[in-house]
Chain A
């Protein structure tokens, strides 16, 4: 299978079940909402080192937010149920509560599993906090020096999908980067999906474990490192000189498939030779995204 002359390998991306929450952060301006969201989702690229994966899903116009102000939707994922509230409480408390003009709302109101994020953060109010029930939902008003920080008492948690991916094998680094940027642009704003890595792109794809260091849980994916072609069991054709990966997390499989479809098509451009995907033989993750099926 080829798209614009780019070979689509007959393989699949292997992804994992994670726990996901969606936060709607609003502010007096979109700029302030973004400031909070960027800080909140900072250092949240991979559960390998960050305990969570997070990213901005999309920007929200005034009409789509609970308080009628501009906002940003954020997806937040962890590997297990227990660590999601832990991460949210710490991060929201340090990044959204501290940010001028912001408020924080639940973006998964129908999820039966509820995380007591606002309930935990309320104690910052030192007894001066107050709650309000509006439309059946409880909110906490936490007094701060600026005025008040408003946060919903609980946030919904669903099973999500983490680790959707595809790799761009290119003739040179410039072509790989241009293709990755085009893919990210095509996927930005896709509902239910985030790209947790810097600019949505990963240059350091990893393999499980290490050939040399027993304490490492992940090390460089030497089979896809072009500089190691001569000294390792490389999976790269001779003409490939650079590889970049796109990692996708999301609320569900179909959302990730739709984003992968758009991203891969956009990445099929001059200088790109092959699109492939990372997997572990299908034994570790229950979600398998077959590239040719998605693009067919």
Chain B
């Protein structure tokens, strides 16, 4: 048993690599050889994780990934616990339908981060995803619980159809953010294009946002400005075309 399992990208995939076998809790019960033998799909063909990654360590629920994984999809799929730290960018479907644990990406992420598998009603149902960069379209779509934090910009349809949970975006959120939101919170610290089916409620200092941002500053070491912690937020209720119990909180300054 090791303190951590480290995957170092040794061979850059030439096509999209679906590596939905990479999850911290899954590695907790596996030796290095078994980890290397886990199946992946490269350009539509079956392969093994070991063909692309050098594996160090075994039987640990703390996993580090080193290398540019922009072409690698599905990292952290279905993860239920443990910690997954990625030094570099990742492809689409990061933390797909995860239910617990923590994913920390020191780079960007592709589309559907924290989202749902195709045809599924629910995206992530728990845990935390921190992306220290920008994300692609529909990040946090249909999420049921949990926390998705994006320090860069969000793509189109961020938090689309969210059932509950929290999305925080430090940069600008793309068009269609929060559309079809049932419950849950989208905290926008940059620019955000509000859907027409959201209605302004008030401008106030939401106490849970202060708590959340302080948590992100201390636990995740994110650069949170004091004015964001103590500042005022416009609250928009929505999506009124849906249940309408969600909210879009837009930071408007100290």
Residues in B neighbouring A130, C-beta threshold 8 A: 183, 185, 245
Q: Known contacts A147-B204, A147-B205, A148-B207: does B245 contact A132 (CB below 8 Å)?
A: no
Contacts of B229-249 to chain A: CB distance below 8 A = 229, 245
Identify the stretch in B36-44, B84-92, B134-142, B212-220 within 8 Å (CB) of chain A at 4 or more residues: B212-220
Q: Given known contacts A132-B212, A135-B215, is B183 in contact with A67 (CB within 8 Å)?
A: no
Flag if B206 contacts A134 (CB, 8 Å): no
Q: Does A139 reach chain B (CB closer than 8 Å)?
A: yes
Asked if residues A141 and B208 are in contact (CB atoms below 8 Å), the reply is yes
Is A189's beta carbon under 8 Å from chain B?
no
Smallest CB separation, B49 vs chain A (Å): 30
Partner of A148, one of B145, B208, B219, B229: B208
Q: How far is the CA of A147 from the CA of B232 in the complex (A)?
A: 12
Q: Does B252 reach chain A (CB closer than 8 Å)?
A: no
- Within the assembled complex, what's the spacing in Å between the Cα atoms of A103 and B208? 10
Chain B, range 158-210, C-beta contacts under 8 Å to A: 166, 183, 185, 202, 204-208, 210
Q: Are A135 and B210 in contact (CB under 8 A)?
A: no
Main secondary structure of the interface of B (DSSP, over half): mixed
Please give the number of chain B residues whose Cβ is less than 8 angstroms from any Cβ of chain A in the complex: 20
**Residues 89-144 (chain A) with a chain B CB within 8 angstroms:** 103, 130, 132-135, 139, 141
Whether, in the assembled complex, B211 has its beta carbon less than 8 Å from a beta carbon of chain A, the answer is: yes
A48 and B91 CA atoms in complex are apart in Å by 65
Contact check, B229 vs A132: say whether CB atoms are below 8 A apart.
no
A150 and B207: CB pair below 8 A? yes
C-alpha gap A147/B229 in the complex (Å): 16
Closest B residue to A150 by beta carbon equals B207
| Interface check A270, CB cutoff 8 A | no
User: Which of A68, A132, A141 has the most B CB atoms < 10 Å from its CB?
Assistant: A132
- Residues 52-71 of B at the A interface (beta carbon under 8 Å): none
Chain B nearest CB from A227 CB (Å) reads 53
Say what secondary structure dominates the interface of chain A.
strand
In the complex, residue of chain A having the shortest beta-carbon distance to the beta carbon of B205: A147
A68-B214, A68-B229 known; A150+B208 contact, CB < 8 A: yes
Say whether B208 contacts A139, CB under 8 Å: yes
Query: Shortest CB–CB separation between residue A4 and chain B, in angstroms?
Result: 47
Contacts of A42 in B (CB 8 A): none
* Bound-complex Cα distance A280 to B185 (A): 57
Contacts of B214 on A, CB cut-off 8 Å? 66-68
Which residues of A sit under 8 angstroms from B210, Cβ to Cβ? 67-68
CB B159 to nearest CB in A, in angstroms, measures: 15
**Residues of the A chain whose Cβ atoms lie less than 8 Å from the Cβ of B183:** 130
B166–A132 touching, CB < 8 Å = yes
A76–B71 CA distance with the chains assembled, in angstroms: 56
Q: Known contacts A68-B229, A130-B183, A132-B166: does B219 contact A141 (CB below 8 Å)?
A: no
> Which residue of chain B lies nearest to A127 when distances are taken between CB atoms in the complex?
B245
Q: CA separation between A133 and B183, bound complex, in Å?
A: 14
- Taken together as a complex, chains A and B put the C-alpha atoms of A103 and B210 apart, in Å, by 11
Instruction: Give Cα A132 to B187, complex, Å.
Output: 13
Residues on the A chain within 8 Å of B245, using CB: 130
In the assembled complex, the CB of B127 is this many whole angstroms from the nearest CB of chain A, namely 10
Q: Closest A residue to B128 by CB, please name it.
A: A135
Closest to A131 in B: B164
Q: Are B206 and A148 in contact (CB under 8 A)?
A: yes
What's the least CB distance linking A265 to chain B, in Å?
A: 39
Which of chain B's residues has its CB closest to A147's CB?
A: B204
Q: How far is the CB of B56 from chain A (nearest CB, A)?
A: 29
- Which of these, B206, B212, B219, contacts A147 with CB under 8 Å? B206
Residues of B within 8 A of A141 (CB): 206-208
* Distance in Å: Cβ of A166 to nearest Cβ of chain B: 41
| Whole-angstrom CA separation of A130 from B247 in the bound complex | 11
In the assembled complex, how far is the CB of residue B239 from the closest CB belonging to chain A, in whole angstroms?
A: 15
Q: How far is B202's CA from A93's CA once the two chains are assembled, in angstroms?
A: 25
Interface contact B211-A66, CB-CB below 8 Å? yes
- A124 CB to nearest B CB, Å: 16
> Which B residues lie within 8 Å of A150 (CB)?
207-208, 211
A139 / chain B contacts, CB cutoff of 8 Å: 208, 211
Interface residues of B (CB under 8 A from A): 145-147, 166, 183, 185, 202, 204-208, 210-212, 214-215, 219, 229, 245
- Given A66-B211, A134-B147, A147-B207, 18 extra CB contacts under 8 A: A66-B214, A67-B207, A68-B214, A103-B207, A132-B208, A132-B212, A133-B146, A133-B147, A134-B215, A141-B206, A147-B202, A147-B205, A148-B204, A148-B206, A148-B207, A148-B208, A149-B207, A150-B211
Q: Report 16 cross-chain contacts, Cβ distance below 8 Å, ordered by A residue.
A: A66-B211, A67-B207, A67-B210, A68-B229, A103-B207, A130-B183, A132-B166, A132-B185, A134-B147, A134-B212, A141-B207, A147-B204, A147-B205, A147-B206, A148-B206, A148-B207
3 closest A-B pairs by CB: A150-B207, A147-B204, A132-B208
